[in-house]
Chain A
């Protein structure tokens, strides 16, 4: 073996063939990711320029129609509503999850008996299949027979019950609530982890300076938690904007389309109306939205670092 100067990046001498062997470790995963993420994204772009109908299934004909699918979606009278619903659902869910999650994380930071057990049991809602939670909530929120309205009536908070699944704004509130419920454990866990990384001596010093708990939250906890907060919020937004399961199970996008988001619309177009072209165009809008969140995140992250 003819020895060559060691490259600084690798502690072991590398032959040409061996460099290949190293890539073989990555190749299967890379191939998989390209096939199941790269291909679908590219294929979706192609499909969004084609016209798919029921007939396409038999004949295979999906003529090129340029931007017509996008034009149809954007000019549809439903679209502004869908966009607004998506925004309300995403922002509502993310902020709700974050607020409750932060409160719980701060609460669990105090050490108390059972704290650890309670904290891990709290993860259950996050681990359950969304269909299972959605089904349960649908049953609980049923306006006539659900337990939520039964409690409200029992406490005389509402005489007729809240139309959780049959009122348009209430149904949107319902899916947000369910999604918050699902997301709280994740938020709590991450924010709790972030809180653990804050050195305790800072708090002790603040205490010596006479700072109350509110002041130490404002001047120590919040600034030091900021990076974790932005991760939580952006991840939350990226994951929430594409949520489909909960909405399909709890409200099916209704009533009167009140809980239809871009994601559910994309499903509806492709798999209920078999218009894969428009479904793909709708899906691409979703990707663009996700990317916007990602870019916002990167910028926020950079700013947080330079400050």
Chain B
């Protein structure tokens, strides 16, 4: 709690850096492996002294369209999650409807439902409805992670918006929809970004729905692309790892760009 870092502070910084380096070593190793030359070396050096980008060339050639698929699905899921969650969170935070607690409890209960159970049932329904192997099908399924999360995050934020602000707008004659659109949403910008970032990442990282709700490679997210790569391309580990790096990129970028939102959500998500 001292202002200036004493010797203890520097030591802590050093220890912290070492601990972090250990924790992030796999990430380093992933990048390192992706920069090794192609071929059957299987081993690779400790440092990418002569970085070789052929792994990325192969990865982009084989998996480029899978990256696009992931992007489309993740953006779609983020948009759908926010569109469903924002009005619901607003209503739960503001209207004090009878049954609010039941709805909130229901949302928490969804967290105990395993994805495999959802996939098991959706497979049949999707098959009947022609939603297997479709972007829409994946967007809908992937949002099972995003919607409850976004409701919880937005709800806890919107509850904190002072009643007076809403009241003032109401007095000015704004209808419920207007209040929501022109007052609540702009005020909730930060919470919306946080929820958006995470719902995007949830859908981007999805593996199980991609695995179970697609049967061809026409609509194949990058996570499934990596998984299928594993069995078929062991002699091209650099390409496999390059794909892994590409698949990890959004998470890393968002952590840097939206650091504040990510950190706040990580602490806020569980301690509601």
Contact = CB atoms under 8 A, between A and B. Distances in A.
A222 interface: no
A190 B91 contact: no
Given A114-B16, A123-B255, A125-B27, A40 B122 contact: yes
Contact of B84 (A29, A41, A47): A29
Contacts of A186: 266, 270
B93 to A, nearest CB: 10
Classify the interface of chain A: helix, strand, loop or mixed: helix
Contact of B120 (A44, A111, A123): A44
A118 B140 CA distance: 36
B251 A107 contact: no
B79 interface: no
A245 B207 CA distance: 7
A238 B95 contact: no
B13 A47 contact: no
Interface in B1-37: 1-2, 5, 8-10, 12-13, 15-17, 19-20, 23-24, 26-27, 29-30, 33
B159 interface: no
A194 B111 CA distance: 22
Contacts of A129: 204-205, 207, 222-223, 247-248, 251
23 contacts: A36-B141, A37-B113, A39-B125, A114-B16, A121-B20, A123-B255, A123-B266, A124-B255, A128-B205, A130-B205, A131-B223, A132-B247, A136-B27, A139-B237, A140-B29, A181-B26, A190-B270, A200-B1, A232-B270, A235-B270, A241-B114, A279-B120, A287-B113
Interface of B: 1-2, 5, 8-10, 12-13, 15-17, 19-20, 23-24, 26-27, 29-30, 33, 42-43, 83-85, 87-88, 90-92, 95-97, 103, 106-107, 109-125, 140-141, 143-144, 147-148, 151, 163, 167, 170, 176, 180, 201, 204-205, 207-208, 211-212, 222-224, 226-227, 230, 237, 240-241, 244-245, 247-248, 251-252, 254-255, 259, 262-263, 266-268, 270-271
